[in-house]
Amino acid sequence: MGEKCFELLKAKCGEEKYERLVNLNNSKLLDFIAKYSELCNPDSVYVCNDSEEDKQYIRDRALITGEEKKLIMEGQSVHFDGYNDQARDKANTKYLLSKGAGLGSGLNSVDRESGLKEVHSYLKDSMVGKQMYVLFFCLGPTDSEFSIPCVQITDSSYVAHSEYILYRRGYEQFRKIGGSTEFFRYVHSAGVLENGASKNVDKRRIYMDLEDNIVFSTNTQYAGNTVGLKKLSLRLAIQKASEEGWLAEHMLLMGVQGSDGNKTYFAGAFPSACGKTSTAMLPGETIVGDDIAYLRKRNGNIYAANVECGIFGIIRDVNPKDDPIIWDVLSMPEEVIFSNILVTDENVPYWLGDGREVPGKGTNYSGEWYKGKKDSQGNEISYSHKNARYTVSLYSLKNGDSNLDNPEGVQVKGIIYGGRDSSIWPPVQEAFDWAHGVITIAASLESETTAATLGKEGVRQFNPMSNLDFLSITLDKYIENYLSFVKGVDVPPGIFGVNYFQKGNDGKYLTAMDDKRVWVKWMALRVNGNVGAIETPIGYIPKYEDLKKLFQKVLKKDYAEEDYLKQFTLRIPENIEKIERITGIYKTKAINVPDIFFSSLEEQKKRLEVARKRDGDYVPPAKFLAQGA
């Protein structure tokens, strides 16, 4: 960069804040900040370090700029995204790729040169009249093999405030890496604001430059599009992990307590609004993380760490009965950012499924709200958005795991995969082995769409490992990485499929919301070799007697054999249709997956056909128990 550019940056920062940049002794970092300071042209630049004073400055700025408003409870605030800026924008989230590069079919990309030109045109002078914030964070625990230093540029105090809650501070981490070029970079501008929200959402762009590990985000405030360290970072990390031999995953991390006092750690992958956070927050267990994890091999075992130290969770149906721990945090004077809920004139927040009587009026993401209010298309506006959120620190939770910040991570003994599936999977199943689980459960994961992404709800979508939206490598390479990841691992983690959304012929759910507490306990018993199982064509399922005991022990309620039969009867036609559908998807995509992939699916199909010929379309567990197959 030219000397003039650095002088301009120094003038916008002021002597003290500029020294903070210089003291990091990293020319790549300084060049990056200088370049986008010149392009975005803010009135001033505020450089944060790890101090509490800087975090408080960001909190205060969020209120001053109107991006957040205080609520009645001390420490709590509310943010409203624009009416058309309520979810991740898949269509405009793209990779910037040079000619000749490719990620396979179905993965959004744009020519790198033209994409940079476009997004730079939106960033040019986008911060005139505003302040630019420069913030430093660390993905994963600091001073760890999991650590990835990150620098965020944004003009949104809401985005900056969110990241302060969600991530570990990283200024000192940058000081330790010196002149290293191994860090992630983010540039975000909310663009023109109207009533505190992004106005020009037609120019909303979320571009990822894989060559330079930079994420660009413009004309949006919704955190899924703008909090660079979240899903946008996951895309950068997946490429880095592929090159270095580890896994970057869309996974929760939790500790399951045993009756012997021991704790078993599980990772788990679920698409949005499919029970991921509620699983991580199960009463009696501990949470390490609810969204993104890095997995590494060490000494014959697999270890994982939470990338984050906070939760950006869907608030719908959070109530005292179903999510008591989160409810307690949201009901106390803790630091919380609510988004896109209803706020009454008394500054009390309300949201869908909170168990309280709905107020007649208030303020929400559409502005002033009243019962019966409709949008310009004649659609009634809900008092709280289906994808409304809360942002809280994990340190505020009474069930936070003691190893949250352990630089060594936690040893993972099981991995859970689950989506919205009304007709195929039982509530819980276990794969025969690692490869079988990767292929028939993880890589075959499907889920019905929800309000967490833009588009039509209720559509069954293929979503391998719950990570398809975030892949920055080809799907065949991703699956190959998974299959080979356990090389050198003494005992690979058990792989399980769960289904909290199974329905009967009457369309009603077959399991209660808290039943997942039992499925998790059973999985913990399995990976520790403390309980048997029934072998079926799709894997192992629980025995009725074992579940009956667990329901009494965990939930203090009876478990009827009739319910067990409805839940665990093998639905052969639906399972065969799924195998054919998944096989067709992979063949259509022309993915060069390892030979074992299609052969494993075909073998499962043959096992199902044998069982069908012998016992019919719908086979109760007792048939397999009696036959020993």
The β-bridge partners of 452 are none
Give the C-alpha distances (Å, rounded to integers) separating 208 from 167, 182, 590: 20, 16, 25
Q: Tell me the C-alpha distance between 72 and 80, whole Å.
A: 17
Residue 141 has pLDDT above 70, yes or no: yes
Q: Poorest-confidence range of 230-234, 313-317, 482-486, 585-589?
A: 585-589
Same domain, 358 and 466: no
What's residue 49's pLDDT?
Answer: 97
pLDDT band, residue 461 (cuts 50/70/90): confident
The CATH number assigned to the domain holding 202 equals 3.40.449.10
**Percent of the chain residues topping a pLDDT of 70:** 96
pLDDT in tens, 359-376: 999 999 999 999 999 998
pLDDT band, residue 450 (cuts 50/70/90): low
For residue 75, tell me if it sits in a domain: no
Q: Which of 396, 427, 453 marks a domain boundary?
A: 396
Instruction: For the beta carbon of residue 504, count every other beta carbon within 10 angstroms.
Output: 12
Residue 477 has pLDDT above 60, yes or no: yes
DSSP for 476-496 reads HHHHHHHHHHTTT-SSPPEEE
- Region for 456 from its dihedrals, namely left if φ exceeds 0, alpha if ψ lies in -120 to 50, beta otherwise: beta
Q: Which of 200, 225, 245 marks a domain boundary?
A: 245
Same domain, 13 and 98: yes
Same domain, 386 and 423: no
Residue 72 has pLDDT above 70, yes or no: yes
What's residue 307's pLDDT?
Answer: 98
What's residue 308's pLDDT?
Answer: 98
Same domain, 237 and 276: no
What's residue 4's pLDDT?
Answer: 81
Q: Tell me the C-alpha distance between 139 and 307, whole Å.
A: 5
Nearest to 258 by CA among 548, 554, 493: 554
Which run of H or of E encompasses 378? none
> What average pLDDT does range 591-618 have in this prediction?
94
Reduce the DSSP state of residue 603 to 3 states and report it. Answer: helix
For residue 77, tell me if it sits in a domain: no
595 or 333, greater pLDDT = 333
Which residues are marked as active site? Answer: 274
For residue 76, tell me if it sits in a domain: no
pLDDT band, residue 5 (cuts 50/70/90): confident
For residue 628, tell me if it sits in a domain: no
Residue 158 has pLDDT above 90, yes or no: yes
Q: Is 507 exposed, middle or buried (0-12, 13-18, 19+ CB in 10 A)?
A: exposed
Same domain, 135 and 173: yes
Reduce the DSSP state of residue 570 to 3 states and report it. Answer: strand
What's residue 106's pLDDT?
Answer: 61
Q: Integer distance in angstroms from the first to the last C-alpha of the chain?
A: 69
Same domain, 374 and 493: no
Same domain, 436 and 518: yes
Residue 107 has pLDDT above 80, yes or no: no
What's residue 334's pLDDT?
Answer: 92
Q: What is the pTM of this model?
A: 0.94
Same domain, 354 and 491: no
Amino acid at 398: K
What does DSSP assign to residue 140?
S
Same domain, 455 and 349: no
Which residues are CB-neighbours of 580 under 8 A, at least 6 positions away? Answer: 605
**Percent of the chain residues topping a pLDDT of 90:** 86
Domain interval for residue 124: 3-68+87-245
Domain tally for the chain?
3
Same domain, 449 and 580: yes
Residue 169 has pLDDT above 70, yes or no: yes
> What average pLDDT does range 433-449 have in this prediction?
93
The CATH number assigned to the domain holding 321 equals 2.170.8.10
Same domain, 136 and 186: yes
For residue 460, tell me if it sits in a domain: yes
Q: Which two tokens stand for residue 220?
A: 């949006």
Integer Rg of the chain from CA? 25
The CATH number assigned to the domain holding 416 equals 3.90.228.20
What's residue 629's pLDDT?
Answer: 39
228, 242 contact by CB (below 8 A): no
Q: E strands within 321-423?
A: 336-339, 342-343, 349-350, 361-364, 367-370, 389-393, 410-418
Mean pLDDT over the full length of the chain? 94
Nearest to 499 by CA among 519, 483, 485: 519
For residue 502, tell me if it sits in a domain: yes
What's residue 99's pLDDT?
Answer: 82
Q: Which of 396, 422, 445 marks a domain boundary?
A: 396
What's residue 108's pLDDT?
Answer: 85
For residue 74, tell me if it sits in a domain: no
Same domain, 300 and 322: no
What's residue 70's pLDDT?
Answer: 97
Q: Tell me the C-alpha distance between 248 and 584, whole Å.
A: 27
> What average pLDDT does range 439-455 have in this prediction?
78
189, 154 contact by CB (below 8 A): yes
Q: Is 288 exposed, middle or buried (0-12, 13-18, 19+ CB in 10 A)?
A: buried
Reduce the DSSP state of residue 105 to 3 states and report it. Answer: coil
Residue 356 has pLDDT above 70, yes or no: yes
Give backbone dihedrals phi and psi of 53, rounded to 5 degrees, phi first.
-60, -40
Give backbone dihedrals phi and psi of 214, rounded to 5 degrees, phi first.
-120, 140
Nearest to 233 by CA among 301, 155, 312, 297: 312
Residue 451 has pLDDT above 60, yes or no: no
Residue 2 has pLDDT above 90, yes or no: no
For residue 581, tell me if it sits in a domain: yes
Q: Which two tokens stand for residue 207?
A: 């571009």
Q: Tell me the C-alpha distance between 69 and 563, whole Å.
A: 48
